[in-house]
Copies of this chain bind each other. A is one copy, B any other.
């Protein structure tokens, strides 16, 4: 069952932007899947911030697993204004709180798989562990939540979620897996390759687009590759196919009752400059005229920093990473080429600053 209120579509509508590939209506996607896989997906167009309706759906559907993707996912969007900051925190924190209360009241044995972000940790000067850290202090020890240094009001909303989630597991005995996801890149999954009606979202605009995806679009349309600052900012990345693998692995191997299990969901770390260079080279090899341009960093963040996050939990569950390759970038460039007439130049340059 899918529960969606199409909030991302609404945000794009408001800003006059859109996914690179068109996203068909949910009803058509469900019809395509019925046709191709012979499976029926139920759907409800509901805002999960509407608690009575969410609770009713969870009570009647009685899920074994709840995969919670229903959040506003953009750091720049959350930094536009007070209203955008609060819209993001309200929507994300209230929605997750509602899921937790509904589980407590009507589905206490369900397993929640919740999307967090690696951005909750920020860039501390020590190795980042998966959710918790053993601290020795003045001769005593405890295993405590890893300290958080989020870098935007959006990332903060995920930190708030994590604390609420941890509490609900500790107090009510719920079980949850918090997937602190890195930056996702890629266009296709096994499913999207079956039928264009199943194409998934590929955002390239300054608010919802992510580094590698944006760089591919920029290279194809002849826009300079926009690197913020010196580009030595380093983050964890993963292929969109691996995100699905991770969700499946987490769902098939649920957390224990009372446990908030945390995985860092990425497969490799890259600096922004490394990614820009790889895309630039691959594009030029295909005959595009790509070049890198450093722009003033619109964000307030450390550009030169230590970064060594652990990510062994999902590997131990069986994750087989599909690492970044020239071939993947070439495939992405080909797909972007196919849809390049849909690109809005207006949406490319960063317009939202942290200051």
Interface residues of A (CB under 8 A from B): 51, 82-83, 85-86, 89-90, 93-94, 97-98, 101, 124-127, 133, 135-138, 140-142, 144-153, 156, 159-160, 163-164, 167, 170-172, 300, 306, 354-355
Contact present for A125 and B145 (CB under 8 Å): no
Known interface pairs A94-B90, A170-B300; A147-B149 also in contact (CB < 8 Å): no
Nearest chain B CB to A111 CB, angstrom units = 20
Question: Separation in Å of the A258 CB from the closest CB of chain B?
Answer: 11
Give the docked Cα–Cα distance between A66 and B247 (Å): 45
28 contacts between A and B (CB under 8 A): A82-B97, A82-B98, A82-B101, A86-B98, A89-B93, A89-B94, A90-B90, A90-B94, A93-B93, A124-B142, A125-B140, A126-B137, A126-B144, A127-B137, A127-B138, A133-B137, A133-B147, A135-B135, A135-B147, A144-B149, A145-B147, A145-B148, A145-B149, A152-B167, A156-B160, A156-B164, A159-B163, A160-B160
Do the beta carbons of A51 and B142 come within 8 Å of each other? no
- Tell me which of A148, A167, A172 has the highest count of chain B C-beta atoms within 10 A of its own C-beta: A167
Q: Which residues of B contact A163 (CB under 8 A)?
A: 148, 150, 156, 159-160
Q: Contacts A133-B147, A171-B300, A171-B355 known; list 18 others, CB within 8 Å.
A: A82-B101, A85-B97, A86-B94, A89-B93, A89-B164, A90-B94, A93-B93, A125-B142, A126-B142, A133-B135, A135-B135, A135-B147, A140-B306, A151-B171, A152-B167, A153-B167, A160-B160, A172-B355
